[in-house]
Amino acid sequence: MWKFRKLTEGELERSPHEAEFFNVGDIDKATSVVREVIQNSLDARLPNNHPVRVKFLFGTHEKSDDDVYYKELLPHIQSSGLLPARYSTASEVHFLTIEDFGTTGLDGSISREQIAAAGSGNYYNFWWCEGKSQKTGHRMGRWGLGKTSFHVASMLRTFWGFTIRYDDKRELLLGKALLETHVMDGAWYDYYGYFSGPGYAPIEDRTQIEAFQSKFGVSRKQEPGFSLVIPFPSEEIDHDAIVRSVIIHYFFPVIKDMLVVEVASKSSLTILDSSTLREIAKKQNWSDSPWKDRSVDSLMEFLEDAVTMPDAERMKLLMPSGTPQLNEGLFGDRLDEARERYAGNKLVALEVPVKIRPVGQPEIDSFFQVYLRKDEDLQKADEFYIREGITISEINNLRNRRVRGLLSHTGRRSMHVPGRLLLGYFRKTFSL
């Protein structure tokens, strides 16, 4: 089932270029997994009004030396010098299963032979391309280097993926390990390996798929979507870490009823939706997290008010003429109203029109949404930048002002750069 390619004389010995991403820096491993999997699930949502559902399941299964999923894999991990001591002494194997529903699954070409006729797609790109993405335009997720986070999350640097495709209903199972070039039994092996059928084809045998589903608690029956299994996840990835990461990075689609997330373990079940998000956020331990110094209850009230604000209640600014330039004239006759709302600690909601000129294409009309509320109890600003539903981290413009601000847009990815400048402008306009 597991296949690692032998190196022949004259071939380069190399480590994977993804190795530099194994250290995820300031983003913890739980956040890395949450951001990658949910954004790609939102990108793959089916064309209807139903929310995408994402399930995280922490489970265990009995450890066995004859297990088909590990028997041929572990010697390669050990020969790479990557087998954790904790695995050797463990009596059972922990795993994290992540599933999305209301999505298309991994669609597109499956084999290299199909690409010449049909082009690449999510399936081929996910399993067989490194550092390359098929996603363009408004689609935020990328099956490029981002999927390396799944290897990083596993102490065995391995994961399996099972998909039911919306377009052709095919059920496909594959696994991938990303190790190091290594020597085993006198032979040299490349750094990667696949859990597959003959000729590296995905497994489609129903008996094998059912055994996999039973082993790893995969609940998917006939629903299209993608199920991901991470064996032996890092210790820092646990139930509460997943919940906190979802709240921080995906409060926007949850509040908008675009996303429902379920996190389950032996002792806990947490369902994050628009009706439960605020209360669950209040109960979390936010120490040692990006929200450690925030008043979470009043913060969630602001976020809920901003995200659910009806379109008709936002002040629509005028489109600037000539060279784009922000000035008080864009408010028309509503500047005093906006200032009065801000001074009275009320939510100021603005829609800011912009024109985009893609290279070689006509102008596109788009807009930002900006929300501001003063709060004298704050010691420093709470500010959020939302791009296609995901929170963009580490942008700070309001500094030590006692104000909450949220900027959101659904346009092209590059638009978040001028978006940063907008909150700085409104800081001056309202004397924040």
Over residues 263-300, the pLDDT tens digits come to 999 889 999 999 999 999 999 999 988 898 888 999 99
Which is more confidently placed, 128 or 217? 217
Encoded amino acid at 223, one letter: E
Residue 308 and residue 300 in contact, taking contact as beta carbons nearer than 8 Å: no
Domains and CATH numbers, the chain: 2-283 (3.30.565.10), 296-429 (no CATH)
Residue 237 and residue 29 in contact, taking contact as beta carbons nearer than 8 Å: yes
For residue 90, give both structure tokens: 């463990």
What pLDDT is stored for residue 207 in this prediction?
97
When pLDDT is cut at 50, 70 and 90, the band that residue 327 belongs to is confident
Q: How far is CA 128 from CA 76, 79, 133, 184, in A?
A: 20, 23, 11, 24
Over residues 249-261, the pLDDT tens digits come to 999 999 999 999 9
Report the distance separating Cα 136 and Cα 125, nearest Å. 13
Q: How far is CA 398 from CA 26, 35, 83, 252, 379, in A?
A: 22, 25, 46, 20, 12
What pLDDT is stored for residue 325 in this prediction?
66
Lookup result for tokens 């501001």: 372
Q: Read off the pTM.
A: 0.89
Least confident of 21-35, 234-248, 360-374: 21-35
Residues 6+ apart with CB under 8 A from 44: 100, 103, 104, 105, 122, 225, 226
Least confident of 146-160, 315-329, 401-415: 401-415
pLDDT at 430 over 50: yes
Over residues 175-213, the pLDDT tens digits come to 999 999 999 999 999 999 999 999 999 999 999 999 999
Report the distance separating Cα 238 and Cα 386, nearest Å. 26
Q: What is the mean pLDDT of the chain?
A: 86
Report the distance separating Cα 98 and Cα 113, nearest Å. 30
What pLDDT is stored for residue 301 in this prediction?
96
Report the distance separating Cα 15 and Cα 179, nearest Å. 8
pLDDT at 27 over 90: no
User: Once rounded to an integer, what is the mean pLDDT over residues 151-171?
Assistant: 96
- With residue 405 as reference, give the H or E element that holds it: strand 403-409
Report the distance separating Cα 343 and Cα 391, nearest Å. 27
Residue 352 and residue 368 in contact, taking contact as beta carbons nearer than 8 Å: yes
Lookup result for tokens 């969630």: 300
